[in-house]
Every structure is written in structure tokens, then in C-alpha cells.
Amino acid sequence: MDQKDLALYPYVSEASSYVASLDFSLDRLISSRAMESARLRGKERVLQSIEGEIQKPGLLSSDDRKILIELLSYPFSRILVSCIDDPFLTRRYSLAEAVSSYKSLKGRDPGFLKDLAREFGIQAKVEDPGFSMHFTDYIRLAGTLKATEWKLVNRKLDSGYVNVSKDEFARLLQEGVKNRIEGSLPVSVPGEIVQACEPYLEEIRAALHERKTTFGDGSEFGSVESELFPPCITYAISQTRAGVNLAHSMRFAMTSFLLTVGMSVDDILNLFTSSPDFDIEKARYQVEHIAGASGTSYKPPSCATMQTYGNCYSPDGICKKIKHPLGYYQRRIWLRDRDAQKQASKKPSSAPSSEGSSS
Ligand code: SF4
């Protein structure tokens, strides 16, 4: 890889060796004035990951200094993520770095992808079209992807090798990148380094807090009463927010439920931005399809179906009285309104009761 590629894919071992060869001390990265641009870019990487996507600068016409700043910003961003040591941030940052790589890798030639794959211990052959890769590598990387097209049974297996398109191969490399980065964080950061990083951490902590608050207080639900959702849907939403990839059946159940209770397509897409395999165009197509863009609108599955697919989580007392997650929501609304009415009717009668009315 040349220096530009090392800056674009800074998690490869060659990039670490290159940085080590520069004889660059950690102290210098943290405190040298000349390194301020690298530190600011490192902070920007983390902030962008919280927002959703790390934007990679065009490095083609960049001078060596800019390329070096981009390369050195990566170890600094890892230090910042480690200083905060928040599992949500670690997951989000790793995912954002991986997605950003995927976008760039889609445009690279097959030989480059094959070489990069070797970095992740993937045995692959360039085919016409696409790639073939050993099934054990395929399972290792596609195992967390829930869409049915990734299931091994839906793939052609030839002498232990699975065929994938170039785009799919890049997508699987994304998983490899995410696993590598997530698995290597947090790095151990001495107390004095944490202190030296404080000026860069404040903004990140604030952005992280805002992100968690915004997406954790139900504000995207508008008039939809998320606190009255059934446990299965609440669980699915919390998993989605945490960046966990939902099983296809659960994703369908959650999406159709949210659409039925009145949540907009855009707000649902917003919720999915944390998903590891989030692809805005694909997700929009799927959500709009469930919403009825093709003429059929899909209703959420019943509790019996949810149970069959293992999607019924922590049923509570109300669950015993209903047969459908929508029934749960309606019953909670009815109970809430009934309680509100009771409270309202108590108010005018509270004064007379103290005068001796029957209790
Ligand atoms: S019983 Fe129904 S509503 Fe309750 S958690 Fe299970 S699937 Fe959801």
C-alpha cells in the first residue's frame, strides 16, 4: 500500500508498522504543537462517528503532510475513544470507521480487495464476476448479517468456496474491519495522557450525551406514545439504537409496528442509522415497501408468530391479556386514559369527600 492507502485504511498492520517506523512518540502526538491538526482531525473522526458517518477527505491531490495528518489522526481518535471508554461510543466509532472503508472499497479494483482480505486472514479468489471465498471465512464475517441473502443455505457452495459479488465482498470486509477495530478497543491509556486529552474530550462527551438523550428519550416518536409500547418492541428499539443487528423477522415486526402506530418512514430510518448494515437506500426501500408503497401494506405479526420466531421478549402482565403487540399498545392507551379520567373525576369530588361522603 502507498501512503495514501495507509491513511485511508489505517487499521491495517502495515499502517501500524509505518507509523512505528516514523519513530513518533506518543508524547509528541499528544502534545506537540505541530500535531494539532492530527489531533483535531482525530477528534473530528470521533464526532463524525457519533453523528453517523466518518467523512474521508479526498487524498488524491493531497501533499505528504496532509496524508500524514490523516494517518496520525487515527491513533489519536482511538486514544480519545479509549479515554471515554463507553461501549456505545466504541461500537459506533468502530462501525463508522468500517462503513467509511466499505464506501471507499466498493470503488477499488478486485486485486486491491483481495490483498486487503489477506490482512483479515480471508482466503479469496478473484472470479469473473466477483469473488469466491472459503466458506469458513464467509461464515465468520456474514454470521452477524441477518438479511436472508447472507444465509449460507442461500449461497452456491463450490468445493468449499462461496461466490459473492464485488460489492458483497467489500461489505464482508466491512465486518472484518469493524470486528478488528471494536476488538482492539479500548486501548490502555495512562492517566497523564487522559488528562492531556481533556481539551478534546469535552466536545465528544457532550455530543455523545446529546446523541444518547435525543435517541433515548423517544423524541423521534412524535405523537406516538413509545412508553406504552410492548416489551418486545421496546427491546427491539433499544437493540437497534445500540447498533445491534436485528434478525430480519424482528426488524420486520418492529418496522411494521411503528408504521402502524403512526411513525413516519423518515423517523424509522433515523432509528436504523445505528444498525451495522445500515444502507439508506436499501433501508428506505424496505421500510416504504412495508408501509405499502407496492400496494400491500404489511401488518405487524401476532404474539404467536413473534413467539415462533423467538421475538417475544420479557412479556409482562398485560401480555397475558392480549394476542397481538398492537393489542398491547391499545390496552396500555386505554388503561392510561381510564386512569387519567379517574384522576380527573376525583378532583371535584375530593373536597366533598372530606365532608363525609361515602368512600
Ligand atoms: S406477548 Fe406479545 S406483546 Fe408481549 S412481549 Fe410477547 S410478542 Fe410482545
Asked if residue 352 belongs to a domain, the reply is no
d(CA 208, CA 84): 10
Looking at the structure, tell me whether residues 242 and 331 fall in a common domain: yes
Residue 242 has pLDDT above 80, yes or no: no
Distance CA(199)–CA(119), nearest Å, equals: 35
Could you tell me if 284 and 272 lie in one domain?
yes
What's the CA gap between 36 and 353, in Å, rounded? 72
Cis-peptide into 186, omega within 30 deg: yes
**Which cell goes with 1?**
500500500
Q: Taking the CB of residue 162, how many other CB atoms lie within 10 A of it?
A: 22
Instruction: Pick from 229, 306, 309 the residue to mutate for probing ligand 1's pocket: most ligand atoms within 8 Å of its CB.
Output: 306
User: Is 142 domain-assigned?
Assistant: yes
Specify the residue for cell string 458517518: 53
| Mean pLDDT for all residues in the chain | 85
The string of pLDDT tens digits covering residues 52-87 is 788 887 766 668 888 999 999 999 999 999 999 988
- At residue 246, does pLDDT exceed 50? yes
| 8-state DSSP, 347 | H
* Distance (Å, whole) CA 107 – CA 235: 37
Ligand 1 atom closest to the CA of 323, numbered from 1: 2
- The atom number, within ligand 1, closest to the CA of 307 reads 7
Mean pLDDT of 156-178: 92
Q: State which H helix or E strand residue 83 sits in.
A: helix 64-84
Instruction: Answer yes or no: do 160 and 237 share one domain.
Output: no
27 with 151, same domain: the answer is: no
The least confident of 125-134, 286-295, 341-350 is 341-350
For residues 117 and 60, state if they share a domain.
no
Name the grid cell of 345. 373525576
| Residue-level pLDDT at 172 | 92
- CA dist list (Å): 211 to 142, 165, 205, 330: 29, 35, 10, 30
* pLDDT score of 148: 65
Kindly state if the Cβ of 319 falls inside 6 Å of ligand 1: yes
Of the two residues 237 and 211, the one the predictor is more confident about is 237
Question: Is 313 found in the same domain as 239?
Answer: yes
* Cα-to-centroid distance, 271 and ligand 1 (Å): 21
Please report the pLDDT score of residue 52 as a whole number.
Answer: 73
Q: What does the DSSP assignment read for 133-153?
A: EEHHHHHHHHTT--SGGGSGG
If asked whether residues 6 and 76 sit together in one domain, one would say yes
Contacts of 192 (CB under 8 A, 6+ apart): none
Are 45 and 171 members of one domain? no
Top mean pLDDT of 187-201, 212-226, 256-270, 339-353 is at: 187-201
Single out the residue in 137, 162, 186 at which a domain terminates: 186
Mutate to test the pocket of ligand 1, among 228, 232, 252 (most ligand atoms within 8 A of CB): 232
**Helix, strand, or coil (residue 359):** coil
Residue-level pLDDT at 147: 63
Task: Classify 147 in phi/psi space as left (phi over 0), alpha (psi -120 to 50) or beta.
Answer: beta
| Structural Rg of the chain based on CA atoms | 25
Query: Does any ligand 1 atom lie closer than 6 A to the CB of residue 325?
Result: yes
Q: Are 250 and 309 in contact (CB under 8 A)?
A: yes
Distance between CA atoms of 152 and 139, rounded to whole angstroms? 7
Region 40-47: what's the mean pLDDT? 96
Amino acid at 21: S
Q: Is the pLDDT of residue 293 over 80?
A: no
| Selected residue with higher pLDDT from 59 and 338 | 338
The answer on pLDDT for 355 being more than 80 is no
| pLDDT tens digits, one per residue of 249-260 | 999 999 999 988
| Mutational test site, ligand 1, from 312, 318, 331, max ligand atoms within 8 Å of CB | 312
Mean pLDDT, rounded, for 9-26 = 89
Question: What percentage of the chain carries pLDDT values higher than 70?
Answer: 88
pLDDT at position 91: 84
Domain count of the chain? 3
pTM of the complete model beyond 0.85: no
> Residue 218 above 50 pLDDT?
no
Q: What's the gap in Å between 232 CA and the centre of ligand 1?
A: 6
Dist. CA 325–CA 323, nearest whole Å? 7
Longest dimension (CA), the chain: 90
- What's residue 60's pLDDT? 61
Domain hosting residue 77, numbered range:
1-84+189-202
In a domain? residue 263 = yes
Evaluate if residue 350 carries a pLDDT over 50. no
254 pocket-lining for ligand 1 (C-beta < 6 Å) = no
Same domain for 228 and 331: yes
Q: How many CB atoms lie within 10 A of CB 98?
A: 25
Ligand 1 center–CA 287 separation, angstroms: 22
SS3 for 287-309 is HHHHHCCCCCCCCCCCHHHHHHC
- 92-121 mean pLDDT: 92
Neighbouring C-beta atoms of residue 52, cutoff 10 Å = 16
pLDDT at residue 348 tops 70: no
How many percent of the chain have pLDDT more than 90? Answer: 50
